Amino acid sequence: MPQGARPDSPPAQDWTPDELMIAVLAGCFADGDQACNGMASFLPVAAFQLAKLTHAPDLVWLAGAVGLEPRPGPIPASTLEAPLWRDALMYVEQFGDFWTLALNGRWLQKFCVGAAQLDRFGNANNSVIGDYHKPKVRLPGTAGLGDMGSIGKQLYFWNPNHSPRSLVAEVDFVSCAGYLGGGDERERLGLTGGPELVVTNLCVLDFEPQSKHMRLRSVHPGVTVEQVLAATGFEPLLPAGEVAVTPVPTAEQVRLIREVIDPHGMRRREFRRR
């Protein structure tokens, strides 16, 4: 794999929402961070590799929470199978190693999180639609997210299918703790960290520091604020003044994604066909 990238690369003329989302997520990770991914996480995996190839060569990647600094080649069809952690420096044992390091608080402080439902205070649900004991829809289950929301991590949500069904006023079930009821409720429970950013196919949102209510930070080029509002199950806060436009990826970022990181286009599997 080629190392580094031209820092002065111009904005791409030709980019797609998946590539823009990857660039935004990549920008959340820096040298000195450690990043890991779970299953069906094509965008985060691409983002970690993009960061390493450009601004954050010393970002440490734990592929699938298993393989330390692998050399995987093009993104394979699964982000939780052996091809992803080819030539790793270490096979991280899950409980004694991975969870101990994750719980500790000094490492692996940022997580990319996908969720079936995310609400206005950043609470996530991968458990059930409807009642827990008699669900209307049984979702896959919260797995590690049930921990990550409570152990001081900074959470970066990604959502390739921004819709009123996935961004809801209130989740049916809190399976990953965000800011709970908002304000200082999370803090009062002694929880640190919390949701930082929500990156969707339409826009980037963050959380207003006092109320902890989700807030529109930027819309992607070509997307209007009205489109975002129509696609969201609640009213996100709006910034004072003009809403910013998300910077597009650089030409070099797009080249790296298309030619080096994901030539087979696995990243597009996450997007619902329209």
Partner 1 sequence: MQVKQTTLAEAASLVSDGDLVALQSMATQAAPMAMVRELIRQRRRDLGLVCLVGGIAVDWLAAAGCIDRFIGNAVSMEQFGLAQRYRRAVEDGRIRMEELSETALLARLGAGARNLPFLVTRGMIGTDLIAVNENLTMIEDPFGGPPVVACRALVPDVALIHCHRADRCGNVQYEPTARWPDVAIMPKAARRVIVTTEQIVESDVLRTDPERTVLPGFVVDAVVEVPWGAHPTSFNPRYGYDGALHSAWVAAARSEEGAAQFLERYVHGPADHESYLAAVGGESRLAALTRWEAE
Q: Taking CB under 8 A as the criterion, which residues in 2-41 touch partner 1? A: 31-32, 34, 39-40
Cα–Cα distance, 22 to 241 (Å, whole number): 27
Cα–Cα distance, 203 to 201 (Å, whole number): 6
Stretch that binds partner 1, among 18-26, 132-140, 195-203, 204-212 (CB under 8 A): 132-140
Least distance to partner 1, CB of residue 106, Å: 8
Specify the pairing of strand 194-200 against strand 203-207: antiparallel
Least distance to partner 1, CB of residue 124, Å: 9
Least distance to partner 1, CB of residue 176, Å: 7
**Of the candidates 114, 190, 121, 196, which has an alpha carbon nearest to the alpha carbon of residue 154?**
196
Indicate the residue among 182 and 249 with the shorter CB distance to partner 1. Answer: 182
Contact of 160 with 270, CB cutoff 8 Å: yes
Cα–Cα distance, 195 to 179 (Å, whole number): 7
In one-letter notation, the amino acid at residue 5 is A
Indicate the residue among 47 and 174 with the shorter CB distance to partner 1. Answer: 174
- Report the site for partner 1 in 190-229 (rule: CB under 8 A): 190-191
How many of the other CB atoms lie within 10 Å of CB of 6? 11
Q: List the one residue from 9, 110, 144, 211 that touches partner 1 (CB under 8 A).
A: 144
Least distance to partner 1, CB of residue 66, Å: 4
- Report the site for partner 1 in 94-123 (rule: CB under 8 A): 94-96, 99-101, 103-105, 107
Least distance to partner 1, CB of residue 158, Å: 16
Cα–Cα distance, 142 to 127 (Å, whole number): 6
Q: List the one residue from 21, 45, 56, 88 that touches partner 1 (CB under 8 A).
A: 88
Contact of 206 with 179, CB cutoff 8 Å: no
Q: List the one residue from 17, 44, 64, 249 that touches partner 1 (CB under 8 A).
A: 64
Least distance to partner 1, CB of residue 218, Å: 29
Contact of 49 with 237, CB cutoff 8 Å: no
Q: List the one residue from 141, 164, 221, 263 that touches partner 1 (CB under 8 A).
A: 141
Specify the pairing of strand 34-36 against strand 135-138: unpaired
